[in-house]
Structure 1
Amino acid sequence: MSTALPVTVVVSRTACGPGGAALTRWAHELCRDAAGFPGHLGAHVDTRIENGDTTVHIGVTFAGAAELLRWERSGIRARRLAEGDALTHGEPVALGITELVPAATSGPPPSRVRSAVLIWAALFPPAAVVNATLMPHLDAWPGIVRTLLLTLLLVPIVVLGTLPLLQRVLRRWSR
C-alpha cells in the first residue's frame, strides 16, 4: 500500500483575443491526455470571462508526486503546452489551491497563537466528554492503548466536526 499523498497542480491561462473557446477546448484536451497516465485521480477546467478576456483554471490531481512528475516530463504534455502557448498570452500562472476558493477574510493568515487557541477550543469539549464518559471504563487498559483510542476518536471529531463549526461561528461573529 502506498503512503504517497495526492498532489494537485492548478494553472491559469488567459486567451489571446477572442480565442476563449479554443483555449477551453485545449484545456479539456490537456486534461483528457493527463487522464491516460498512471496515478491520475481527476482533473477540472474552470472557465471565467471577465472584461472580454477568457481565463481557464486547470487543475490536475495525481496519486503522488512521482506520478505527477511522470506526467510533467511526458512528450504529450510538452506538445500540449506548446499548443497552449499559441492560444495564450503571458506565462502560465501557477495558483495555490485556495486561490480558487473565495477567501473567508482578506489579509495575512492567522498567527500561530490564534491557530493554537482555535484548535484547543475545538479539541477541549470533545476531549472532556470522552474523558468523562469513556476513559473511566478503560482503567485496566495500558496507557498507550487508551491514548491510541482517544486520538482515533478525537482527531476525526475535531477535524471534521468541531473545528469547522467553530471556524464558521467565529467567521460570522467577526463580520
Structure 2
Amino acid sequence: MTRPPAAGAPLPVTVLVSRTAREPDALTAWADDLCRDAARMPGHLAAHVDRTEVAGRTVVRVGVTFASAQDLARWERSAERAHRLAEVDAITDGPPVALSVDDLERWGVSCARGRAPSRLRTAVRIWIALFPPALLVNALVLPGLAGWPVAVRTLLLTLVLVPVVVYLTLPLVLRLTGGGSR
C-alpha cells in the first residue's frame, strides 16, 4: 500500500512528450539515450519510452519522472538534456507535443494503478513457476545424493531452485499470465 507523502514533502513530477519520427529507429534510440542521461540526475525516479503508429507515422512518447519540481528543473537546465535536444530535430518531424494524463488515456495508456494481485493468485503463480524445476531436481539430482545429510541436500536444492525460479520460470509465468513486466 502506498502512503501519501508527508506534509510539506515534495511531490514527484512527470513530464511526457511525444515526437513524430522521421527516422523511427534513430528516434527510439535517441529517446533511450535521453532517459539514460536523465537516470544519472539527482532525484530521477523513472523513465518511459514507447513507440506507436498514428495515421501511418511512427510516434515516440517519452516520459521522465523526478522526485520534485526542483529535480526536474535541474534536469531541464542540464548540459546533457541540452545536448540531446540539439540532436533530435534532425530525426523528427514537427515540434514536440506535451502530453497530459487525458492524452495518455486517449492513447490507450492507463494512468490508474491497478490493484496488486491477490495473495492466492501470487501463490499459485509461484507454485506454477516452482513445480517444474523442483520436479526435475527431485527426479534427476536428489536420488544420487541419498546418502548426504538432509540439511546439505536442502541447501543444494534451494541453491539451484531459487535462481532458476527468480530468473527463468517466474518471469515466464508472469509474462504468460499478464502478471508483470520484465
Using the TM superposition, give the Cα deviation of residue 27 of structure 1 relative to its aligned residue in structure 2, in angstroms.
Answer: 0.5
> Aligned with 1:37: secondary structure?
coil
Deviation digits for residues 105-160 of structure 1 (CA, Å, limit 9, x no counterpart): xxxxxxxxxxxxxxxxxxxxxxxxxxxxxxxxxxxxxxxxxxxxxxxxxxxxxxxx
For residue 96 of structure 1, what is the amino acid of its counterpart?
S
- Which range is displaced more, 68-77 or 81-90? 81-90
Q: Within the alignment, does 1:95 sit opposite 2:99 as a pair?
A: yes
**Superposed counterparts of 1:93-172, under 5 Å:** 93-102=97-106
Provide TM-score, normalisation by structure 1. Answer: 0.55
Q: Within the alignment, does 1:8 sit opposite 2:14 as a pair?
A: yes
Using the TM superposition, give the Cα deviation of residue 70 of structure 1 relative to its aligned residue in structure 2, in angstroms.
Answer: 0.2
**Superposed counterparts of 1:41-52, under 5 Å:** 41-52=45-56
**Superposed counterparts of 1:61-100, under 5 Å:** 61-100=65-104
> Aligned with 1:92: secondary structure?
strand
Deviation digits for residues 73-131 of structure 1 (CA, Å, limit 9, x no counterpart): 00110110111111111111111123112489xxxxxxxxxxxxxxxxxxxxxxxxxxx
Per the alignment, do residues 50 and 102 of structure 1 end up closer, same or farther by CA in structure 2, a change over 3 Å counting?
closer
**Superposition CA RMSD, Å:** 1.9
For residue 88 of structure 2, what is the amino acid of its counterpart?
G
Q: Within the alignment, does 1:25 sit opposite 2:32 as a pair?
A: no
Aligned to 1:116: none
Q: Which runs of 5+ in 1 are unaligned?
A: 105-175
Q: Which runs of 5+ in 2 are unaligned?
A: 1-5, 109-182
Identity %: 58
Using the TM superposition, give the Cα deviation of residue 46 of structure 1 relative to its aligned residue in structure 2, in angstroms.
Answer: 1.2
Alpha-carbon distance in 1 for matches of 2:9, 2:77: 23
Alpha-carbon distance in 2 for matches of 1:62, 1:12: 18
Provide TM-score, normalisation by structure 2. Answer: 0.53
Per the alignment, do residues 33 and 103 of structure 1 end up closer, same or farther by CA in structure 2, a change over 3 Å counting?
closer
Aligned to 1:35: 39
Alpha-carbon distance in 2 for matches of 1:31, 1:88: 17
Alpha-carbon distance in 2 for matches of 1:64, 1:50: 32
Alpha-carbon distance in 2 for matches of 1:102, 1:95: 10
Alpha-carbon distance in 2 for matches of 1:5, 1:65: 8
* Aligned pairs, number: 102
Aligned to 1:158: none
> Aligned with 1:46: secondary structure?
strand
Name the structure, 1 or 2, with higher relative contact order (CA <8 Å, separation 6+).
1
